[in-house]
């Protein structure tokens, strides 16, 4: 029981350790502006992580996440700004395609990794078609959303808490989330109870698409312009975020709050290295190192749990 | 049978899987207020019947009537609507969800608002009703429960009534993980449920339990119903007899000469085989036979390095999962375990491999014109022959076989039987787990497994169907 609790606290603990180290090295970050700067890039990553988590919850993996977020960013910086109605239609269609991909993977019994890898080229190609060279401009409201300054707490923190709360309600509390995680845990028993696995999977993919669309829009809100390759790193970042946050690749074991914390930790790792005056080339390596350390801790906790004979 | 009264009635039910007739014209009825005990040995068709009743499988032929009404498109959701519930033999909860959430999955009619609170009260009451005095917390993760607790939760969920009334509950080995106290509590609840007008189909390998709880006994054999009558007419002995078939004599090999040296044994001494002996592992499927084989194998080969002259060869049971390399040729599939012996200076000798392929193709009659063909171009039976050749071609003096004849045609079986006898005559030892009585009777000596341990051992003339069934089905509740 105690090691279960410890496991749940591990993501928060790693974030705290990293945050304290950053505060120690650069005390000026301990301010409204500092915190906002530290974390505002984490907001779209957190959304993409939640999207990835929904796919992982049904035992699949989405390798098109980065390309899809880039595609959304390009749509947001062009159509959504110039012809909002058309922009909304395109994005709604994209969510529909996500649902179709989920259906295709289930009906034809295909490996999700292969299908989504293929889709990543489709999304990447579409993004280049829309924006052959970096450019476009963020819709005013998206920019406002990311630049707004609520009193007391920086926007990045507010947004992260909001995302975690909504995702927690959707995935952990609602009946919809229970069925999705049930499919990840034991698909046959869900099927035997009379649920349509097809629709559950389609819904999981569609909600993932929805969160990824939000990630793309907010990313453009931050950067104010888009580029077809703007979010390619999100694929691996989102997977790492889910795992760092206590999720597992199989068995429907996911944690939305953990996933958001995981995304924050990964973002912070980058800044931490900059404060240490280490070149940004090393950042990805450092993120990997953090991932390995946290996972190693988790394995240790699991071992101690088994050793204690708790079933 | 007055089928207007039946909760569910199957008439002339037939279901085939390829050449296997899982159900071969079965009439099955359950009336309200009745508990039917369903018994039969491996492959008798029990699981198929259960899966038809709960809507998981559809019939090839025959009709299903619910409360007297003919149903065309019977499905899982139609079954649930009709009040049919099922507790499966293998545990089927989601381990990553808490108990309350599993209730949500199992009961679609729970409603959307405040379902957590409702499910919590409902399942707590239900657990209290079936297992008074239990200590399970409804907010516990199912993965953290013991096997017995999971089974308790599953039984309680099956009996839980929300908006659809529960009319029929199928219990497939419900007491397999429960101790005597819990099992008795559950049986008492089942009795009450039946007295209140519910119907139950009860499957168990503990015959006393079946006789105690059931009003009617339905015995299946080879996809057919052999007995369907009141339980009071039976005792354990007559039930065992009913499950068996007409005794068929088959000639015994003389193995007294070889019975001297022990060829292989489990480290704990519970199982051993002599040189030149065919030892059978029998019992209901999933009672520890495969584990015993794997243990035997690992204890005698547990080594990181691959080497020549392995002492033990293994013939896998689940061909498609553990046996065949689907992208390789027949020859490659066959020579796999022999590669160290065929290797000279780091390279496989193609000529020797070919030679070996030619030899074995003739010896066991693999039906192909070219051993370089794809393994998947062969029929299932011939694929299995290749896997046999893989084991037999090796010099290993002991061969372990994990129910290798599943879904193999009769002709191939006869070929393999004679091959085994011939090889055993030459001093090779076989340990053979089989779920088929015919095969078990080929063995010189048989260990019968029950609940993960060896329950009985028979040799020579004592290897009879009746003895084996009696040992696989427990006579007294633990």
Please report, for chain A, the start and end positions of each structural domain, with discontinuous segments joined by +.
Answer: 2-304
Same domain assignment for residues B128 and B190: yes
Of residues B77, B92, B96, nearest to A194 (C-beta) = B77
Using DSSP bridges, classify how beta strands B272-274 and B262-265 pair: parallel, antiparallel or unpaired.
antiparallel
What pLDDT does A161 receive? Answer: 96
Q: How many angstroms away from the CA of B362 is the closest CA of chain A?
A: 39
Beta bridge partners of A267: none
Same domain assignment for residues B255 and B230: no
Of residues A59, A56, A61, the one with CA closest to residue A167 = A56
Average pLDDT over residues A83-90: 96
Using DSSP bridges, classify how beta strands B398-402 and B429-433 pair: parallel, antiparallel or unpaired.
parallel
Of residues B316, B329, B339, the one with CA closest to residue B361 = B329
What pLDDT does A310 receive? Answer: 39
Q: Dmax of chain A from CA atoms?
A: 62
C-beta of residue A47 within 8 angstroms of C-beta of residue A241: no
Residue B140's domain is classified under what CATH number? 3.40.50.300
Could you tell me the pLDDT band of residue A100, with boundaries at 50, 70 and 90?
very high
Structure tokens at B396: 């290993």
Same domain assignment for residues B272 and B368: no
Asked whether residue A311 carries a pLDDT value surpassing 50, the answer given is: no
Q: What is the mean pLDDT of chain A?
A: 91
Of residues B190, B182, B188, the one with CA closest to residue B146 = B182
Q: Last residue of some domain: B243, B264, B286?
A: B243
Same domain assignment for residues B360 and B256: no
The helix (H) or strand (E) run that includes residue B24 is strand B20-30
What pLDDT does B320 receive? Answer: 72
Output the 3-class SS for A281-301.
HHHHHHHHHHHHHHHHHHHHH
Of residues B80, B93, B104, nearest to A178 (C-beta) = B104
What pLDDT does B308 receive? Answer: 59
Which of A94-98, A119-123, A184-188 is predicted least confidently?
A: A184-188
A309 CB neighbours in chain B (<8 A) are: none
Task: Give per-residue pLDDT as tens, B37-75.
Answer: 998 877 788 888 999 998 888 899 999 999 888 888 898
In a domain? residue B186: yes
What pLDDT does A306 receive? Answer: 62
What pLDDT does A68 receive? Answer: 97
Could you tell me the pLDDT band of residue B229, with boundaries at 50, 70 and 90?
confident
Q: What is the mean pLDDT of chain B?
A: 84
B144 CB neighbours in chain A (<8 A) are: 4, 310-311
Could you tell me the pLDDT band of residue B246, with boundaries at 50, 70 and 90?
very low
What pLDDT does B365 receive? Answer: 77
What pLDDT does B249 receive? Answer: 47
pTM metric for this prediction: 0.80
B94 CB neighbours in chain A (<8 A) are: 181-182, 185-186, 189-190, 252
Of residues A245, A222, A168, the one with CA closest to residue A43 = A222
Could you tell me the pLDDT band of residue B124, with boundaries at 50, 70 and 90?
very high
Query: Is B116 in CB contact (< 8 Å) with chain A?
Result: yes
A180 CB neighbours in chain B (<8 A) are: none
d(CA B263, CA B444): 15
Position with higher pLDDT, A30 vs B19:
A30
Same domain assignment for residues B134 and B260: no
Query: Is B162 in CB contact (< 8 Å) with chain A?
Result: no
Same domain assignment for residues B387 and B438: no
End-to-end CA gap in chain A: 10
Same domain assignment for residues B166 and B62: yes
Cα B117 to chain centroid, rounded: 39
**Contact yes or no for A181 and B94 at CB 8 A:** yes
In a domain? residue B1: no
- Count the Cβ atoms, other than its own, within 10 Å of residue A174: 16
A187 CB neighbours in chain B (<8 A) are: none
For A170, residues 6+ apart whose C-beta sits below 8 A from its C-beta are: A176, A177, A207, A256
Average pLDDT over residues B151-162: 92
Could you tell me the pLDDT band of residue B478, with boundaries at 50, 70 and 90?
very low
Task: Give per-residue pLDDT as tens, B267-283.
Answer: 777 888 888 888 999 88
The helix (H) or strand (E) run that includes residue B289 is helix B289-301
Task: Give per-residue pLDDT as tens, A36-70.
Answer: 888 989 999 999 999 999 999 999 999 999 999 99
Alpha carbons within 13 A on the beta-carbon side of B250: 16
Residue B131, helix vs strand vs coil = coil
**Contact yes or no for A195 and B92 at CB 8 A:** no
Chain A residues near any Cβ of chain B (below 8 Å): 4, 173, 175, 178-179, 181-182, 184-186, 188-195, 251-253, 310-311
Number of H helices, E strands in chain B: 16, 20
In a domain? residue B3: no
What pLDDT does B423 receive? Answer: 86
Could you tell me the pLDDT band of residue B247, with boundaries at 50, 70 and 90?
very low
Range of the domain at B430: 249-311+397-478
Asked whether residue B301 carries a pLDDT value surpassing 80, the answer given is: no
Same domain assignment for residues B236 and B289: no
Distances (CA, A) of B105 to A54, A186, A230, A284, B100: 18, 11, 40, 41, 9
Residues of chain B above pLDDT 70, percent:
91
Same domain assignment for residues B411 and B459: yes
Q: How many angstroms away from the CA of A42 is the closest CA of chain B?
A: 28
Asked whether residue B3 carries a pLDDT value surpassing 60, the answer given is: no
Q: Last residue of some domain: B355, B372, B395?
A: B395
Alpha carbons within 13 A on the beta-carbon side of A64: 30
Average pLDDT over residues B219-233: 87
Average pLDDT over residues A150-174: 94
Count of the separate structural domains present in chain B:
3
d(CA B272, CA B265): 4
Residue B67: phi and psi, rounded to 5, are 50, 40
Asked whether residue A159 carries a pLDDT value surpassing 90, the answer given is: yes
Beta bridge partners of B35: B200
Could you tell me the pLDDT band of residue B402, with boundaries at 50, 70 and 90?
confident
B88 CB neighbours in chain A (<8 A) are: 192
Average pLDDT over residues B442-458: 87
In a domain? residue B317: no
Q: Last residue of some domain: B365, B395, B425?
A: B395
C-beta of residue B472 within 8 angstroms of C-beta of residue B205: yes
- Count the Cβ atoms, other than its own, within 10 Å of residue B461: 8
**Contact yes or no for A251 and B112 at CB 8 A:** no
Position with higher pLDDT, A55 vs B266:
A55
Asked whether residue B304 carries a pLDDT value surpassing 70, the answer given is: no
Interface contacts A/B by beta carbons within 8 Å: 67
What pLDDT does B302 receive? Answer: 60
d(CA A45, CA A63): 15
- Count the Cβ atoms, other than its own, within 10 Å of residue B308: 12
Report the chain B residue with the minimal C-alpha distance to residue A310: B144
Same domain assignment for residues B60 and B146: yes
User: Residues 17-56, chain B: which have Cβ within 8 Å of A?
Assistant: 54, 56
Average pLDDT over residues B364-371: 80
Average pLDDT over residues A99-126: 96
What pLDDT does A138 receive? Answer: 93
C-beta of residue B158 within 8 angstroms of C-beta of residue B168: no
Same domain assignment for residues B390 and B441: no
Which of A143-152, B67-76, B354-363, B401-410 is predicted least confidently?
A: B401-410
Average pLDDT over residues A84-94: 96
In a domain? residue B318: no
In a domain? residue B406: yes
Asked whether residue B407 carries a pLDDT value surpassing 80, the answer given is: no
Task: Give per-residue pLDDT as tens, B427-446.
Answer: 889 999 987 777 888 888 89
C-beta of residue B147 within 8 angstroms of C-beta of residue B177: yes
B101 CB neighbours in chain A (<8 A) are: 178, 181-182
Own/partner contacts of B359-365, CB < 8 Å, gap of 24 or more, are B360/B334, B360/B389, B360/B392, B360/B393, B363/B389, B363/B419, B364/B388, B364/B389, B364/B392, B364/B415, B364/B416, B364/B419, B365/B415
End-to-end CA gap in chain B: 36
What pLDDT does B248 receive? Answer: 46
**Contact yes or no for A182 and B97 at CB 8 A:** yes
Instruction: Name the CATH topology of A2-304.
Output: ABC transporter involved in vitamin B12 uptake, BtuC (1.10.3470)
**DSSP one-letter string for A39-102:** HTTHHHHHHHHHHHHHHHHTT---TTHHHHHHHHHHHHHTHHHHSHHHHHHHHHHHHHHHHHHH
Same domain assignment for residues B383 and B439: no
Task: Give per-residue pLDDT as tens, A240-283.
Answer: 999 999 898 888 999 999 999 999 998 988 788 888 887 777 87
What pLDDT does B260 receive? Answer: 67
């Amino acid at each position: 029981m105690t090691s279960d609790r410890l496991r749940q606290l591990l993501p928060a603990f790693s974030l705290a350790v990293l945050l304290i180290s950053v505060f120690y090295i650069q005390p000026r970050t301990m301010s409204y502006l500092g915190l906002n700067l530290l974390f505002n890039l984490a907001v779209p990553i957190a959304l993409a992580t939640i999207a990835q988590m929904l796919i992982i919850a049904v035992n699949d993996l989405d390798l098109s996440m980065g390309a899809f977020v880039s595609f959304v960013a390009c749509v947001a910086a062009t159509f959504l700004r110039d012809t909002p109605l058309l922009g909304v239609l395109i994005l709604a269609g994209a969510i529909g395609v996500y649902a179709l991909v989920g259906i295709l993977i289930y009906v034809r019994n295909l490996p999700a990794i292969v299908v989504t890898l293929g889709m990543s080229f489709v999304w990447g190609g579409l993004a280049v078609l829309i924006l052959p060279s970096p450019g476009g401009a963020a819709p005013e409201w998206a920019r406002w959303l990311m630049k707004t300054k609520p009193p007391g707490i920086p926007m990045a923190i507010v947004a992260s808490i909001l995302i975690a709360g909504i995702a927690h309600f959707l995935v952990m509390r609602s009946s919809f989330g229970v069925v999705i995680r049930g499919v990840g845990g034991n698909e046959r028993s869900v099927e035997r109870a009379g649920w349509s696995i097809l629709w559950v999977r389609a819904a999981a993919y569609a909600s993932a698409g929805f969160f990824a669309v939000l990630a793309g829009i907010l990313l453009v809100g931050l950067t104010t312009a888009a580029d077809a390759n703007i979010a390619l790193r999100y694929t691996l970042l989102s997977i790492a975020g889910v795992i760092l946050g206590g999720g597992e690749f199989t068995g429907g074991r996911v944690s939305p709050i953990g996933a958001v914390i995981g995304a924050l930790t990964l973002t912070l790792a980058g800044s931490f290295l900059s404060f240490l005056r280490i070149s940004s080339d090393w950042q990805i390596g450092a993120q990997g190192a953090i991932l390995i350390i946290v996972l190693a801790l988790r394995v240790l906790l699991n071992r101690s749990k088994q050793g204690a004979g708790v079933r | 049978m007055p089928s207007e009264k039946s909760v569910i009635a199957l008439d002339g039910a037939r279901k085939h899987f390829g050449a296997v007739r899982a159900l071969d014209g079965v009439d099955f009825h359950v009336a309200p207020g009745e508990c039917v005990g369903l018994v039969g040995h491996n492959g008798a068709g029990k699981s198929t019947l259960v899966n038809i009743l709960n809507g998981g499988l559809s019939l090839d032929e025959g009709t299903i009537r619910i409360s007297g009404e003919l149903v065309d498109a019977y499905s899982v959701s139609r079954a649930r609507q009709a009040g049919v519930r099922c507790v499966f033999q293998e545990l089927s909860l989601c381990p990553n969800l808490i108990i309350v959430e599993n209730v949500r999955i199992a009961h679609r009619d729970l409603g959307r608002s405040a379902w957590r609170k409702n499910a919590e009260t409902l399942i707590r009451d239900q657990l209290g009703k079936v297992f008074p005095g239990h200590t399970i917390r409804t907010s516990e993760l199912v993965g953290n429960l013991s096997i017995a607790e999971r089974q308790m939760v599953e039984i309680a969920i099956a009996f839980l009534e929300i908006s659809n009334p529960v009319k029929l509950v199928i219990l497939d080995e419900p007491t397999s993980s429960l101790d005597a106290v819990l099992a008795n509590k559950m049986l008492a609840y089942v009795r009450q449920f039946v007295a209140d007008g519910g119907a139950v189909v009860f499957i168990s390998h503990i015959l006393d339990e079946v006789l105690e709880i059931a009003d009617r006994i339905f015995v299946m054999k080879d996809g057919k119903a052999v007995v369907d009558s009141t339980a009071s007419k039976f005792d354990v002995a007559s039930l065992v007899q009913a499950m068996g078939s007409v005794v068929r004599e088959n000639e015994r090999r003389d193995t007294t000469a070889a019975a001297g040296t022990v060829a292989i044994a489990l480290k704990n001494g519970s199982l051993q085989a002599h040189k030149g002996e065919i030892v059978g592992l029998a019992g209901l499927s999933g009672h520890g036979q495969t584990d015993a084989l794997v243990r035997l194998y690992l204890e005698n080969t547990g080594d990181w390095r691959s080497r020549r002259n392995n002492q033990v060869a293994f013939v896998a049971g689940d061909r498609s999962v553990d046996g065949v390399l689907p992208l390789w040729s027949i020859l490659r599939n066959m020579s796999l375990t022999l590669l160290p012996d065929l290797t000279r200076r780091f390279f496989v000798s193609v000529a020797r491999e070919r030679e070996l392929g030619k030899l074995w193709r003739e010896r066991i009659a693999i039906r192909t014109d070219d051993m370089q063909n794809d393994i998947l171009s062969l029929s299932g039976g011939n694929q299995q022959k290749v896997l046999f050749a893989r084991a037999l071609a090796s010099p290993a003096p002991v061969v372990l076989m994990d129910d290798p004849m599943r879904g193999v045609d009769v002709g191939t079986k006869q070929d393999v039987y004679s091959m085994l006898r011939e090889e055993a005559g030459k001093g090779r030892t076989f340990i053979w787990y089989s779920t088929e009585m015919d095969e078990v009777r080929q063995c010189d000596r048989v260990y019968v497994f029950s609940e993960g341990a060896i329950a009985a051992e028979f040799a020579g003339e004592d290897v009879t169907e009746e003895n084996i069934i009696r040992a696989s089905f427990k006579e007294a509740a633990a």
